Structure 1
Amino acid sequence: MNRKFSARAATVLSVAALALTGCGGGGSAAEGDQVTLRFAWWGSDTRHEKTQEMIEVFEEQNPDVEIEAEYGDWSGYWDKLATQTAAGDAPDIIQMDLLYIREYAENGVLLDLSDVDMSDMPEDLRVSGATDEGVWGIPHGLTALSMLANKTMFEEAGVELPDDSTWTWEDLEAKSLEFQEKGEGYGLTSLPATMTLELYLRQNGKEFLTPDGQLGWEPADAEGYFEMYKGLADSGALPSASVIAEDQLPSLDQTLTATNQVAMAPWWSTQMTAVQDASGDEFEILRMPTFDGDASKGQLWYKTSMFFSAAADTDHPEEAKAFIDFLVNSTEAAEIGATERGMLANQTALDHIREDLTPEENQVADYITEIEPDLGEPVPIPPQGVSDYQNLHFRYDLEVLFGRMSPAEAAEQMHAEMAAAL
C-alpha cells in the first residue's frame, strides 16, 4: 500500500466556495443569509478554550456563519448525544470517537463527508472513518501503540534502553527482569486491553475485527496471548496481580508510569507528553516488540484519536463540511490547537507547527513518521457492540493473573462474550 503523504499545500475552503459547489440543493444558505451551526465536543478546559479560538477565526473568515458551542466532559457526552439524536436534535458538527462512529453511521445519524479533503493525510487514515457506504468522520489526530520507557529510571539503574528495531517479546521480559535486578521499581506493568491483544493477533496473522464487523480470531488465538501474559507474570517480569488490578484504569497521573514506579509500559504514543509532564522524568518512545525481532513485521497501525462528523439532518451540510475542513486542514486551526486533540493527521498542517512543538511532541511526531513504512493493514472501523470490550478484556486478564481461570478458559469465555456483544 502506498502511504506517501501528498505534498499539496493545505487550503481553507470558505463557506462561499462550498456553497457554490453545492448550488441548487442540500440545504445550503443563500448568499448573505445568516447560518447557525451547533458544534458539540468533549474535552478539558484547555480544549474548550482553544476550540473557542478556532471558532472565532472561522467566523471572522465566514461572517455569515455562527458556531454555537456545546461542550462538556467525556462522562456525560455520549448520553447527551444519544438523547439529542433520539429527539431528532443532533448537533450539526459532532466530535466523534472510533468506538461510536459505526453505530451512529449505521443508524443514519451521520452525513456522508466523502467530498471533504483528506489528501494531506496518511492513506491509512483516510479510510479510518469510512465504510463501503460513505465517509462518516474526518480524522483530526492520529496515534499509534508504543512502549514508553522511563529513560531517567533506566539511566539511574545503569541499564541500557532496548533496541526497538530488533527486540522481541522475550527481550521485553528479559529487560524487565534486568531492570528489577539493578534498579528500583517494576520493570514492566500491565499490557493494556485490548490494543496489545490486537497487536498480538496481527503479529500472528489474525485480525481482531474483520471489515464486515466480526471477530477475526478464535479462542485458541487468545489462549496464546493469555499464556504469554501469564508467562510474564510467572517469571516475575510483571508486578503482582493485585498491583496490576490497581493500575488498569486509574487517572493518568496516578498510574505506575506517571508516578515513576515502572520502567516500561505500553501507551498510545500521543499520551507521552501528558505522562512525562505528570512524571517529571524523561521518557523515550519505543516501538512495540515483535516475535522475530524485525520491526518491519511489527504490524502497528495508525489509530485516529478522534473524528469530526456532521449530522445527516443538518439544514446546512455545505457549511458544516466547510467548518470541518477548516478544523482539520487549515494552518490557522493548527496554530491554535496544535496537538491538543492528538498529533495532527494533516501532515502539511503538522509541518507548519513543528518548530513550535515541545521536544516531547516532536519525538512523538518523529515516531509516527518513522513507523509509517512498517505499518500493517489499516484497522477497519469497529462495529456496534465493542464499546465495552476494554473492560471485558481487563476482567479476563485478571482472572488469568489471579489464577482463577486457565488461559484456555479465559480465551473461550472472552471470545463468547465479545461475539455476543456484536
Structure 2
Amino acid sequence: MPQTTRPSRRRAPRPGTGRFLKAAAVLSTAALALTACGGDAAGGDDGTATLRFVWWGSDARHQATQEMIDVFEEQNPDIDIVPEFVDWSGYWDRLATQTAAGDAPDVMQMDLMYIREYAENGVLLDLSDVDMSQIPEDLRQSGQTEEGTWGIPHGLTALSIAANKDLFAEAGIELPDDATWTWEDLKAKALEFEEKTDHYGLTSLTATMTLELWLRQHGQQFLTEDGQLGWEPEDAVSYFEMYKDLADSGALPETSVIAEDQLPSLDQTLTAKNQTAMAPWWSTQLTAISGASGSEFVPLRLPSVTGSAEDAELWYKTSMFFSASSKTEHPEEAKKFIDFLVNSKEAAELAMTERGMLANQEARDHIYPMLSDQEKIVADYITAIEPELGDPVPIPPQGISDFQNLNFRYDLEVLFGRQTPEEAAKNMHAEMKSALG
C-alpha cells in the first residue's frame, strides 16, 4: 500500500539502478485501453489543482521528495501535490493496475525499461514543451520517440568498473590507466590481485550492459531504433569467449561464487564486503557501495578493444524520468511540477544524488560543492567521459524486462561449461527475439 507519512532519513541502495532488475508485470494493450474510463485527481473546492504523484525508492528518497513537494506547494499555493510511494518490487504491478482501472497518477516516476511501453499504449502525456536545455542531448533522446517526449530525465549514470582504492593501496598494486586499458589489461590486473592477495581481482561482468558494450565496441547495436535486436548470434560468440577466458585464466572467482554474488542486497555483495578489487557497477551506485564497505571507490571506464577511451563506446543512462498521465485533468500544472523537479535549484539542493547524479548540468554544478568526496568522484567521472561517449542507446522496446536475467543465465551456462559460446549465443538470441515478438 502507498505511504504518505514522512519516514526517517537514511541512505539506502537505489532500487532503480540495481545490477539485476526485478521482473515486473508487462502492460497489455487491452488493459491500457481501459485508461479512457477514468480520471485523475480533480481540483479542490477552493480552485486548487490537485496532482497525485507516485514514486518508488528508499526512505531517504521519500523524505527528500516530500521536502521538494513542500517547497513547490509554497511557491504554487494553487497546486496541491498528493504523495504516494511504494517500494520497487510493488511499483510496476500497482502502476499497471491503476492505469488499467483509469486511475493513473497525474505525475509518476518512470524507468527506462518501461517508458516506451507506457508511451506507445497512450498512457503518457507529451512533455515536449518542458525545458530540457540543460540536459545532455543523449539523455533527452532516451525519453523520446518520433511522436513526442514522454519522460524528462532527472538523474543519469554510466557503466563503470568500481575499483576499491583502499584494496589497491594495501596490495601495493597500481590503479590501471582506464583511458588506455584493454580487456586483456583488465584480465592481467585481476590476475595480479589473485597472485598477490587473498582478494578477488574481479567478480563478474554485468548483464546485459557488458554484452551491449561489447557489441557496440564491435560495431553492432544491442537494440535498433525500431526495437529489434541489432546483432546476430555470431556477433555474441566473442563476448562469451572473452568471458570464459577470464574464468579459465583464474581472473574470476569460481562460477558458483559468481552465481551467489547476484542474489544478495548491495551491502552483502563481494564488492561491499571488501572481498574484490574490481566489479562492474553503475557509477551512481559507488556512493552506496562506499558507505556499506567503509572503503573509497573510484569509477573506471570499461576497457576497450583498442586501448583508446574514445573506442570504449560508453553511454549515459537515465537513472529515472518524471512522466505525466495523458488523462490528467491538469496537464499544465503537471508540466510545471516536473519542470520544478528537474530544473529548479531548490529541488536540486533537496534531491542531491538520491535519484542519481543530476541530469541537469546547471543543477549539478550548483550542488557540486555540497556533495560528499565520494559523490564528487562520481560527478567528475560523469563529466570526464562525456566527450568520449558513443552513440545514444535507443529507447528500449516492450518485451525486454527479463533480458538481464536471461543474459545472466546464459553467462552461467558458458561459465559452468554446460553450453559452448556458440550454443549460448544462438539460444540467447532466439529467446530475446521471441520476447520482442
Q: TM-score, normalised by structure 2?
A: 0.89
Q: Does 1:353 align with 2:367?
A: yes
Q: Any idea what SS the aligned residue of 1:99 has?
A: coil
Q: Quote how far apart the aligned CAs of 1:188 are.
A: 0.4
Residue in 1 aligned with 2:79?
A: 65
Q: Quote how far apart the aligned CAs of 1:145 are.
A: 0.4
Candidates 209, 218, 223, aligned match of 2:223: 209
CA distance in 2, matches of 1:254, 1:286: 22
Q: Quote how far apart the aligned CAs of 1:29 are.
A: 7.6
Q: Quote how far apart the aligned CAs of 1:184 are.
A: 2.0
1:159-170 map, 5 Å: 159-170=173-184
CA distance in 2, matches of 1:106, 1:285: 36
Q: Quote how far apart the aligned CAs of 1:249 are.
A: 3.4
Q: Does 1:171 align with 2:168?
A: no
Q: Does 1:412 align with 2:426?
A: yes
CA distance in 2, matches of 1:143, 1:379: 13
Which letter maps to 2:274?
A: N
CA distance in 2, matches of 1:354, 1:52: 22
Deviation by residue 1:324-351 (Cα, 9 ceiling, x = unmatched):
0000000000011111000000011111
CA distance in 2, matches of 1:351, 1:158: 35
CA distance in 1, matches of 2:402, 2:264: 17
Candidates 214, 222, 226, aligned match of 1:200: 214
Which letter maps to 1:83?
A: T
Q: Does 1:237 align with 2:251?
A: yes
Structure 2 gap segments, 5+ residues each: 1-40
CA distance in 2, matches of 1:154, 1:56: 45
Residue in 2 aligned with 1:83?
A: 97
Q: Quote how far apart the aligned CAs of 1:82 are.
A: 0.4
Residue in 1 aligned with 2:314?
A: 300
Q: Any idea what SS the aligned residue of 1:48 has?
A: helix
Contact kept? 2:299, 2:381, Cα under 8 Å: yes
Which letter maps to 1:52?
A: Q
Residue in 1 aligned with 2:31?
A: none
RMSD over aligned Cα atoms: 1.4
Deviation by residue 1:107-133 (Cα, 9 ceiling, x = unmatched):
100000000000001111111100011
Q: Any idea what SS the aligned residue of 1:314 has?
A: coil
Candidates 279, 284, 290, aligned match of 1:270: 284
Residue in 2 aligned with 1:20?
A: none
Residue in 1 aligned with 2:3?
A: none
1:9-408 map, 5 Å: 33-408=47-422
Contact kept? 1:190, 1:248, Cα under 8 Å: no
Which letter maps to 1:376?
A: G
Q: Any idea what SS the aligned residue of 1:313 has?
A: coil
Q: Any idea what SS the aligned residue of 2:80 has?
A: strand
CA distance in 1, matches of 2:400, 2:186: 29
CA distance in 1, matches of 2:279, 2:84: 35
Q: TM-score, normalised by structure 1?
A: 0.92
Deviation by residue 1:163-184 (Cα, 9 ceiling, x = unmatched):
0010000000000001111122
Name the count of aligned residue pairs.
396
CA distance in 2, matches of 1:371, 1:83: 40
CA distance in 2, matches of 1:241, 1:28: 55
Which letter maps to 1:226?
A: F
Which letter maps to 2:335?
A: K
Q: Quote how far apart the aligned CAs of 1:250 are.
A: 1.9
CA distance in 1, matches of 2:283, 2:238: 26
Q: Bigger shift: 244-253 or 41-50?
A: 244-253
Contact kept? 2:51, 2:107, Cα under 8 Å: yes
Q: Quote how far apart the aligned CAs of 1:285 are.
A: 1.4
Which letter maps to 1:33?
A: G
Contact kept? 1:47, 1:340, Cα under 8 Å: yes
Contact kept? 1:50, 1:337, Cα under 8 Å: yes
Q: Any idea what SS the aligned residue of 1:98 has?
A: coil
Which letter maps to 1:133?
A: E
Contact kept? 2:43, 2:50, Cα under 8 Å: no
Q: Bigger shift: 178-187 or 308-317?
A: 178-187
Q: Any idea what SS the aligned residue of 2:161 has?
A: strand
CA distance in 2, matches of 1:41, 1:211: 28
Against the structure 1 CA distance between its residues 192 and 249, is the aligned structure 2 distance closer, same or farther, given a 3 Å change threshold? farther
Structure 1 gap segments, 5+ residues each: 1-26
CA distance in 2, matches of 1:410, 1:112: 40
Residue in 1 aligned with 2:13?
A: none
Deviation by residue 1:127-164 (Cα, 9 ceiling, x = unmatched):
11000111000000000000111111111111111000
Deviation by residue 1:30-83 (Cα, 9 ceiling, x = unmatched):
9x7211000000001111111000000000000011000110100001000000
Contact kept? 1:93, 1:308, Cα under 8 Å: yes
Q: Quote how far apart the aligned CAs of 1:294 are.
A: 0.4
Contact kept? 1:95, 1:309, Cα under 8 Å: yes
Which letter maps to 2:74?
A: E
Residue in 2 aligned with 1:3?
A: none
Contact kept? 2:186, 2:303, Cα under 8 Å: yes
Q: Any idea what SS the aligned residue of 2:113 has?
A: helix
Q: Return structure 1 stretches of 4+ with deviation > 2 angstroms.
A: 27-30
Q: Any idea what SS the aligned residue of 1:336 has?
A: helix
Which letter maps to 1:399?
A: E
Contact kept? 1:154, 1:183, Cα under 8 Å: no
Which letter maps to 1:416?
A: A
